[in-house]
Structure 1
């Protein structure tokens, strides 16, 4: 039953037109951002940036919102159309529904993150044309894998919240608050440095090779990149668990 549910979710994921538009839009935004940032390195103003540093910023400033949209619509489009009734009738064990969606979403978004990171680094390298700081294969690999993990677990978090709220607008607002305003407020007024343990900032730290400065924050992350991945995983699991629990309670 689980394999059939995963197969069905795979078909539904790619049959939603918004999925293609969001993924394509994220890739185009990354290329646009990296080309513009690469060209700006020729101006010689400010600290020289690297290709992997540029794509890190592009992921946090732009592409992560496309990823959140993909994950959100993967769930809420079924509630909007009413097809969630058929899904729940066909898969009566509620956790299997969320697990099947997660089994589709996580590997797709991981691969998407690696692909977009590689595309962005290639575009920025070409547009820099020798300007800026160099990027080694090891540095590029850390950033690409970190971006893939960040996108995969961010999507898992958004998917879980979507099951909990059953609203695209509500989910998007909630996730955006978790990504930027809330961690900044908590870090400024409650616990200094707490932002590094919220999804967006942990994801950014996961893309920073060891010993380097996070180009967004201007300081070295307080932990290694793999710890950032674990923090993002914890947020994703928490979101999935919350969404599953509420799905079982309301739609038992």
Structure 2
């Protein structure tokens, strides 16, 4: 068995053995689906009271992903825990002694976690869509409608990328408290403020979550973002690559 294969197997064992990581993925799925279904039901009840303009821009697909904003926080926690648990317990020294090539070590950890969250993210996105459309009744979208399949698949990709971005940040910062202390306020408060204030909206459009969420929209919004759904996901992917590159550079030059 090659060093890469052994490292991948080791990382898979680590992920399975940490109970908290599994729970965070379950929470992400349940919260995203349940909250999306609830908001979809409320939107169906309020549809008749909407103005003609609001009805014209009503996006039933995006409504079903209303729980993503909260569910992604659990994904962020998962990404941080996958990386920082070894630092907080001191097991990172043992891991790097077993896999001295730090590039192989980081590649294995990122690969295993990414594949896992990709499966969970896709399951969450599809479940949220179908649950939300069931709640919307006559106002629902169908999977075969233009742009809907792209939005649903994009929802799973978004959940995956937000997790990998969190992993890259956690590699740089090492400690779980510091990583979560920066990521949680950034995505839950700072990003929303920058994206909703007119003076800073153009900056907010290029933040990873604001740009990435465009992939889940089917009905175009009235803002003037100079990119489309795939362009927004591409911007998010660049943020992820930058976080991973910075994490790798930090890991290479720093002692465990």
Per the normalisation by structure 1, the TM-score is: 0.87
Q: How far apart, in 1, do the equivalents of 2:193 and 2:225 lie?
A: 16
1:95 corresponds to? 103
1:185-205 deviations in whole A, cap 9, x for unaligned? 488587651211111101111
Q: Could you report, residue by residue, the CA deviation over 1:70-118 in whole angstroms, capped at 9, with x for unpaired residues? A: 1000011111222111111011011211111111122222222221111
For 1:1-252, what aligned pairs fall within 5 Å after superposition?
Answer: 1-40=3-42, 41-44=44-47, 45-46=49-50, 47=54, 49-59=58-68, 61-130=69-138, 132-137=139-144, 138-179=146-187, 180-181=189-190, 184-185=193-194, 188=197, 192-209=201-218, 212-214=219-221, 219=223, 221-251=225-255
Q: State the 1:136 CA deviation.
A: 3.8
Which deviates more, 119-128 or 45-54? Answer: 45-54
Distance in 2, matches of 1:7 and 1:57, equals 36
Distance in structure 2 (CA, Å) of the matches to 1:220 and 1:122: 30
Question: What is the alpha-carbon distance in structure 2 between the residues aligned to residue 90 and residue 22 of structure 1?
Answer: 28
User: Structure 1: 5+ residue runs without aligned partners?
Assistant: none
Distance change (3 Å), C-alpha of 1:190 and 1:122? closer
The 1:187–1:35 alpha-carbon spacing in structure 2 relative to 1, beyond 3 Å, is closer
Three-state SS of the structure 1 residue aligned to 2:217 is coil
CA, structure 1 residues 104+75, in 2 after alignment: closer, same or farther (shift >3 Å)? Answer: same
**Using the alignment, how far apart are the partners of 1:86 and 1:250 within structure 2?**
15
In structure 2, distance between residues paired with 1:186 and 1:129:
31
Cα RMSD after superposing both structures:
2.3
Greater alpha carbon shift after TM alignment, 46-55 vs 200-209: 46-55
Residues 80 and 167 of structure 2 are in contact (CA less than 8 Å); yes or no, is this contact kept in structure 1?
yes
Would you say how many aligned residue pairs link Structure 1 and Structure 2?
245
Could you tell me how far apart the structure 1 residues matched to 2:181 and 2:215 are?
24
Q: Partners in 2 of 1:151 and 1:100 — Cα distance?
A: 20
Structure 2 residue runs without a partner (length 5+): none
Given that 2:165 and 2:239 are in contact with CA atoms closer than 8 Å, whether structure 1 keeps it comes out as yes
2:34–2:67: 8 Å Cα contact kept in structure 1?
Answer: no
1:16-71 C-alpha deviation (Å, 9 max, x unpaired): 11121111111111222122122211233334544421233221x21110110110
Name whichever of 110-119 and 42-51 sits farther off: 42-51
